[in-house]
Structure 1
């Protein structure tokens, strides 16, 4: 039977050298939901902006094992097979952090951030905390947390995993409604891989404008973006090419 691993990490920061200091995940698909939540030490100091977000201090990880020595990490290695599903909100970040610890994903991946952008394309934001309030998920948290023995704290790995579990239920319903003839889980796997059509500029001189309108009015600017902006993400690159008809 397939297992579904809903995962989140907290880290020393977001730069290339930063590392995991908390690993939290739930394992669904068995008779009972399994909870894994551990802090780990790191040779990289926790940056103050990161500490401000997740509240993990050096004292909290002092004396803890390295990430790869944690029981939760070893269990994750056991679960890492093509039959299972990894579910993360903004997967590239967490997968990238796990790769630094020697973890190479073999599971099918569902990135709920990308799926949400496909399904809820007109929302103002797609952050997990946004949906936590927009969908009223916070009203269900205590009952769910008590049943699993989890303490819910914003931007805590296992707390965010619990919110993601609740969000996943609503996201699955929305996928099923939009694609009634398809398996919603496999459709989420597929949507994770598909490019996202960007409709509105979120940055630059055309911020707030429709991308399609800018393509008609100032196509040279968009072609300049494609040529000159090396850090342009693949979804924006895909969308510009589509609206330019290139």
Structure 2
């Protein structure tokens, strides 16, 4: 089934140095950009992460330090990548929890401002887990009746994810062929930041989702304990979380003024 979209839909998969969103780096990006008229654009780019690739990461994606030593850094490609995904919605496999939070961190480290706020994010893994409970390799076999060649390569995984979503739309009549619906269906939480440290309640109020202030309004905490902002800004939190926190703080200060 052709996916019904209004904006270009970017399927993305990242191969990285590890799974820590705050510290790890991208070594390969796979993109399938699907346009509303049905055109598809496939791009794959290896990236020099500027830090060593651990052996355990190489064992999964088979990319070594030698493979990427002459490749551009993310900072080198950030502006052009930002232009490519501007105005797009996004989809991936386990992407809401990992790929897009890490991508947002890389853009912030590169000093390139990309607005993700009004974009839709479809996580094909969440749809799969809600309906079938499997992995990408099994999902590809189950939905597409094909073995996934080149698993854990960014391009192969990205193309497989795109094919799986189309097959999911064919298989499940309860899935609306609509990006807004799919993004909401595949979301597991209403995060204000990608890492889920700050979430929205049913009224759209930002709440802390961790630590001693879990469940409390961010604005309320910052008012009562101003030092909490500095603690988070100096702590080991993702840059995007800090950006969201700063936005809430500035908005609160402007409201008071």
Unpaired runs of 5+ in structure 1?
A: 142-151, 196-228, 231-246
2:152 counterpart of 1:155: yes
Q: Which moved more, 1:56-65 or 1:186-195?
A: 186-195
2:112 counterpart of 1:105: no
Rate the CA distance shift 1:116–1:31 in 2: closer, same or farther, 3 A: closer
| Aligned equivalent of 2:186, options 189, 192, 200 | 192
CA-based RMSD: 2.6
Partner in structure 2 of residue 134 of structure 1: 142
Rate the CA distance shift 1:104–1:98 in 2: closer, same or farther, 3 A: farther
> TM-score scaled to structure 1, two decimals?
0.64
Whether contact under 8 Å (2:143, 2:168) holds in the other structure is: no
- Any idea what SS the aligned residue of 2:15 has? strand
1:163-195 CA-to-partner distances (Å, cap 9, x unmatched) read 1111011122234x125xx44433211112355
> TM-score scaled to structure 2, two decimals?
0.61
2:174 counterpart of 1:178: yes
Unpaired runs of 5+ in structure 2?
A: 1-5, 108-113, 190-209, 212-257
In 1, the alpha carbon distance for the partners of 2:181 and 2:65 equals 41
In 2, the alpha carbon distance for the partners of 1:42 and 1:56 equals 11
Once the two structures are TM-superposed, the CA of residue 75 in structure 1 deviates from its matched residue by 4.2
Rate the CA distance shift 1:21–1:85 in 2: closer, same or farther, 3 A: same
2:89 counterpart of 1:85: yes
Rate the CA distance shift 1:116–1:184 in 2: closer, same or farther, 3 A: farther
Q: Which has the higher contact order (CA 8 A, sep 6+)?
A: 2
In 2, the alpha carbon distance for the partners of 1:33 and 1:86 equals 14
2:11 counterpart of 1:6: yes
